[in-house]
Amino acid sequence: MRLVLFDFDGTLTRKDTLFEFIVFSRGRFRLFWGLFLNLANFMRFYLGRISNAQLKEIVLAHFFGGQSASSFNRMGEAFAREVIPSILRAEAPDVIEWHQNKGSRVIIVTASCSNWIKAWSDQIGVELIATELDVVNGLITGKIRGRNCHGPEKVSRIHSHVDVKQYDKIVAYGDSKGDHQMLAMADEGYFKTLR
């Protein structure tokens, strides 16, 4: 039996879902205004002064900090239904279904938050390993619970989720440096391609 691992943003989708989710929930103007207000933080990230996870927390706190988790999750479920199908790469559904029809265990492993992906992954019968958000007193804080599911953390989370020794072959798909470690653990790795 095969274990098949897919990155999500940029691998199965044509767009980054964090920014698409912000546009969906807050509007394009508020996205651009928020990015402008946080320009210094983006510069700090590109200069290597803050990590990917720290920048993500800043962005999430800016746009969603203080929002009730229930309304945030409802928005995520609507995004999964209404937007994700429209931003998938054309070949993505067929590739996932092909692996499922072969009897493979298919898991999406993503740095994006489960809140706006899980309803879609559940609908197509695929497991999800994703970044989780902290909730305090029913409110989104913008902080990540545990670690950002990126780079070596992807491999750590995969090993926590599944006994990889049970599988004859591991196949992985990714598109960025955040996927290199996951691709390296696979017997068969596909970088920036689903074919």
Contact at 8 Å (CB) between 96 and 126? Answer: yes
- pLDDT reading at 165 higher than 90: yes
Sign of the CA dihedral 182, 91, 112, 162? negative
Domain segments of the chain as ranges: 2-191
| Percent of the chain residues topping a pLDDT of 70 | 100
pLDDT at 150: 97
Q: pTM for this structure?
A: 0.95
State pLDDT tens for residues 74-126.
Answer: 999 999 999 999 999 999 999 999 999 999 999 999 999 999 999 999 999 99
Structure tokens at 62: 């800016």
2-191: CATH topology: Rossmann fold (3.40.50)
pLDDT of residue 36: 97
42 by Cβ neighbours in 10 Å (0-12 / 13-18 / 19+) ranks as: middle
